[in-house]
């Protein structure tokens, strides 16, 4: 059994991890690390490509913006303090990236629920259509012997398993904030 003073110590430590960083300088100090010159060039190149995709998302409906900027910020945090700062202060998606880092790499609870729901829905739709086209073929759905598709079922089973892993990971491993 844990003694009360140890429990209070553990609670105070966990609260310190949830404290919000208030400035870009604090975020940069906590998350920006240096890499070897070769790795830095690679990370800057990949991060720049992701930023280009994020910029495209500003004008193209349906194309994500922040989804590309998050890995770019991560890569810049490993390679270039200047580019990491620019990502955090970008007028289009900088606030979302800053909030993510300032709150200890967490996402809002409503976003987590939405992501889990979308993964579940898209997994169900994708696996159904893969099953329909590649496994069932021209057969009747309740007569297994009439299924004449080329795939014995590995395609839709793989999609379901990967979707369940995604739901589990986002639902259980990604930390949330209010």
Residues 112 and 144 in one domain: yes
Task: Give the pLDDT of residue 143.
Answer: 80
Residues 169 and 122 in one domain: yes
Domain end among 81, 102, 123: 102
What's the CA dihedral at 15, 17, 19, 24 to 10 degrees? 180
CA angle 131, 137, 142 (to 5 degrees): 75
Domain end among 102, 121, 154: 102
Q: Picking from 1-5, 101-105, 112-116, 162-166, which range would have the lowest pLDDT averaged per residue?
A: 1-5
Q: What is the mean pLDDT of residues 129-150?
A: 80
Residue 138: closest CA among 126, 127, 130, 149:
149
Integer Cα distance of 40 and 77 in angstroms:
10
Q: What is the mean pLDDT of residues 7-16?
A: 44
Measuring CA to CA, how many Å separate 77 from each of 24, 26, 31, 80, 117? Answer: 12, 13, 6, 6, 30
Task: Give the pLDDT of residue 9.
Answer: 43
Residue 2 pLDDT greater than 80, yes or no: no
Q: What is the mean pLDDT of residues 17-44?
A: 86
Alpha helices in 19-59 (DSSP H): 24-31, 37-59
Q: Picking from 1-10, 102-111, 128-137, which range would have the lowest pLDDT averaged per residue?
A: 1-10
Residues 30 and 96 in one domain: yes
Domain encompassing residue 153 = 107-177
Residues 30 and 95 in one domain: yes
Look at the chain and report how many structural domains it folds into.
2
Domain end among 56, 78, 102: 102
Q: Is residue 164 part of a domain?
A: yes
Q: What is the mean pLDDT of residues 41-61?
A: 92
Residues 89 and 121 in one domain: no
Phi, psi of 176 (to 5 degrees): -120, 165
Q: Is residue 11 part of a domain?
A: no
Residue 4 pLDDT greater than 60, yes or no: no
Share of the chain above pLDDT 90, in %: 40
Give the pTM: 0.64
Q: Which residues contact 115 (CB under 8 A, 6 or more apart)?
A: 107, 170
Q: What is the mean pLDDT of residues 42-62?
A: 92
Residue 122 pLDDT greater than 80, yes or no: yes
Residues 94 and 112 in one domain: no
> Biggest alpha carbon distance in the chain?
68
Q: Is residue 159 part of a domain?
A: yes
Write the DSSP symbol of residue 139. Answer: S
Concatenated DSSP letters for 7-18?
Answer: HHHHHHHHHHHH
Integer Cα distance of 107 and 84 in angstroms:
19
| For the chain, the helix, strand and coil percentages under 3-state DSSP, each to the nearest 5 | 70, 0, 25
């Amino acid at each position: 059994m844990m003694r009360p003073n140890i429990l209070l110590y553990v609670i105070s430590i966990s609260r310190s991890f949830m404290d919000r960083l208030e400035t870009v300088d604090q975020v940069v100090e906590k998350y920006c690390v240096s890499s070897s010159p070769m790795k830095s060039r690679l990370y800057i190149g990949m991060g720049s490509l992701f930023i280009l995709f994020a910029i495209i998302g500003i004008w193209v409906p349906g194309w994500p913006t922040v989804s590309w900027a998050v890995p770019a910020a991560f890569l810049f945090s490993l390679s270039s303090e200047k580019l990491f700062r620019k990502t955090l202060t970008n007028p289009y998606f900088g606030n979302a990236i800053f909030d993510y880092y300032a709150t200890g790499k967490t996402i809002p609870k409503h976003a987590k629920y939405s992501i889990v729901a979308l993964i579940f829905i898209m997994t169900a739709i994708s696996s159904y259509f893969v099953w329909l086209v590649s496994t069932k073929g021209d057969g009747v759905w309740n007569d297994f012997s009439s299924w004449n598709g080329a795939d014995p079922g590995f395609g839709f089973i793989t999609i379901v398993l990967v979707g369940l892993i995604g739901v589990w990971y986002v639902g259980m491993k990604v930390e949330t904030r209010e």
